[in-house]
Amino acid sequence: MKTDVAIVGVGQSPFYRKCGMAERELCFIAFQEAIKDINLRPEQIDASIVCSAPEYDKQRSPAAVIADYLGIIPAPSFNLETLCCSSSAGLRQAYSLIKSGLHQVVAVIGFQKMSELTSREAAERMVRGGDVQWESPFGLTMPAYFAMVASAHMAQYGTTPEQLAQVRVKSCIYGEINDKAVYRKRISVEDVLNSEMVTSPLKKFDCCANADGAAVIILASGEIARRVTDKPVWILGLGASTRSAALAGRLSFTNIPVAREASQAAYEMAGIGPEDIDVAEVHDCFTIAEIVAYEDCGFAKPGEGTRLIEEKQTYVGGRIPVNVDGGLLSKGHPIGATGASQIRTITRQLRGECGKTQVEGAKFGLIHNVGGPGLYCYVTILGRD
């Protein structure tokens, strides 16, 4: 295990609609949780990667500011950004730094404070993640991008608004239990269907919401991991893919090509297949995104993702539990923190620490994290001893 890489600590702040604190304070809350149960001091972390999308707050180049506040300087700190999957990209880079031998212990710190902007301003910043020359100037927003995916899926496979609504219903069942989620109230299919239209066919409750929050993942080489914790979670597979920012050349809108490519790469590296995954976190920025993720990750054939939600196969106790922490739809979506929050959930599942939402006997977990309208995707597969 000497050259293997493990996750030894995970932490997350509550996700808020409006936190009322500075970014560094958000990160400190998450960092405290990540380091509290491991035999490691902050000064023993020999590098940090700070992940967030720019233009949401006033602090430029936040890595040094946050590393200083957390007490992990003068170790080198880096900024990293790949839209909504920034901290999943951070995990991949931290893994590489450890495997190369340059560093032994690396903290990945994802955060976003989105409440300093109005909803209109935040929507405008988010759409800059698409092609700012050829698409976003014409009024495309993130809901509009995914409304095209929903419309295409409906046209080709007969997907219904009721099936989309069932994704949100599941999200709320588990979000109610998650004390770190923004939204902790159950809703019905009818509530979703009767909510305000955002971009047809997506309604208000088909969409996740902006949030403030932070999440931290601490990685270590295998040799150190065994010394600092008795519950290391091993990084088995890492897949990543990038596609054009412009959607005009996309051949199909019923799937997210980068997600299929990243999933295949992660499975190949881990030496397992989708049938081996016990629990998953997927990027449910919209209800349709979760259904498409079932298919892109190989949990269902194209067009059959709706069967998984209708049959409750993605609930705890089902064939492949997905987003049983409430997902983005209930937790909220603080862009830079989202991937690290997903990784935290799967790490805790593999440790057996999830209480009412625990998937019994979980050995392999998958994290699927998409950036923008499908520019990037990072898929991570974790396993326990």
Residue-by-residue DSSP string for 190-234: HHHHTSPEEETTEEGGGB--B-EEEEEEEEEEHHHHHHH-S--EE
One-letter amino acid of 137: P
Q: Please indicate whether residue 103 is annotated as part of the active site.
A: no
Rounded CA separation 238/270 (Å): 8
What three-state secondary structure class fits 354?
coil
Which of 333, 354, 368, 377 is catalytic? The answer is: 333
> How far apart are alpha carbons 345 and 323 in whole angstroms?
9
Decide if 214 contacts 111 (C-beta within 8 A): yes
Residue 211 contacts residue 116 (beta carbons within 8 Å): no
Tokens of 185: 């109230």
Q: Give the three-state DSSP class for 11.
A: strand
182 vs 326: CA distance, rounded Å: 10
Phi, psi of 276, deg, nearest 5: -90, -15
- Of 383, 199, 368, the closest CA to residue 289 belongs to 368
333 carries an active-site annotation = yes
Most distant CA pair in the chain: distance in Å?
Answer: 56
Q: What angle do CA 264, 241, 336 make, to 5 degrees?
A: 115
Q: Of 19, 27, 51, 84, which one is the catalytic site residue?
A: 84
68 with 98: CB under 8 angstroms?
Answer: no
CB count in 10 Å sphere of residue 149:
24
Catalytic positions: 84, 333
